[in-house]
Amino acid sequence: MSGGPRSDSPLPAALLDRIDSLAAKYPTMRAALLPALWLVQDERGWISRADVAEVADRLGLAAADAEGVLSFYFLFHRAPRGTVVIDVCDNVVCRANGAERLLADLCARLGITPGETTADGRFTVRRQECIAACHQAPAVQVDLQYRGPITSVDELLGMEAR
């Protein structure tokens, strides 16, 4: 799940093979679109327009069609992102438990605003809608792993210090 710099190279053959086997698993090739996009993102960190076009072609879809599906969803990254992605829930329960303070502290520490990536490429921070962790409020996801309640930015970043 590295978010580091990527080349604009075509998708590797092994990945295309996996997309083909996904396509064979469903009654229609189109149904493999979301699983295929997840594969690409897991492999490359984000999904470029060229990647979408290649996936679409493999599944017999128009690139614009696949873009239209992809753009609906929040979790797909359309640009290079930080090595670690922190999604902070700011919905009502997390907010009542200090989510705005947490988000402000986190962004101040990293010197970015929500939606941005640190200059060193290590962290991306985003506002996220409810993540089904209201009992862990204020809750976040770090690379889609649940964390919470988060009592301090030190604690949150400390987990990722390693």
Partner 1 sequence: MSAAYEPVLLRRRGLERSGDIDVYERTGGYQALRKALIEMTPQSVTDLVIASNLRGRGGAGFPTGRKWSFIPKDAPVKYLAVNADESEPGTFNNRVFIDADPHALVEGILICCFAVGISAAYIYIRGENLAGARALERAIAQARAKGYVGRGILGSSFSCEIHVFRGAGAYICGEETALLESIEGRRPQPRSRPPFPAVVGLFGKPTVINNVETLGCVPSIVERGAAWFKSIGPENAPGPKMYCLSGHVARPGVYERPMGTPLRELIEEHAGGIRGGRSLGFVIPGAAASTALRPDEIDVAMDFDSLRKIGTELGAGGIMVFDDRVCIVETLERLARFFRHESCGKCVPCREGTVWQHATLVRLAERRGGAADVALLKSVSEQISGKTLCALGDFAAAPQLGALRKFPEHFQAHVEGRCPARAEAVVA
> Site for partner 1 (CB under 8 A): which residue of 11, 19, 137, 153?
137
Q: Is 46 among the residues that bind partner 1 (CB under 8 A)?
A: no
> Site for partner 1 (CB under 8 A): which residue of 40, 141, 153, 156?
141
Between 38 and 109, CB nearer to partner 1 = 38
- Interface segment toward partner 1; rule CB under 8 A; list 4-12, 21-29, 78-86, 115-123: 21-29
> Site for partner 1 (CB under 8 A): which residue of 9, 13, 72, 119?
72
- The DSSP H or E segment spanning 22 is helix 13-25
Between 60 and 111, CB nearer to partner 1 = 60
Q: Is 52 among the residues that bind partner 1 (CB under 8 A)?
A: no
Give the pairing type, strands 140-142 and 84-89.
antiparallel
Q: Is 92 among the residues that bind partner 1 (CB under 8 A)?
A: yes
* Omega before residue 12 within 30° of 0, cis: no
The count of other CB atoms within 10 Å of the CB of residue 27 is 6
Between 106 and 119, CB nearer to partner 1 = 106
> Site for partner 1 (CB under 8 A): which residue of 32, 85, 102, 153?
32
**82, 123 in Cβ contact below 8 A?**
yes
* Omega before residue 149 within 30° of 0, cis: yes
The count of other CB atoms within 10 Å of the CB of residue 127 is 14
Residues in the chain: 162
* CA distance linking residue 93 with residue 136, whole number of Å: 9
Interaction site with partner 1 (CB under 8 A)? 25, 27-28, 30-35, 37-38, 59, 61, 68-69, 72-76, 87, 90-93, 95-98, 100, 128-137, 141, 144-146
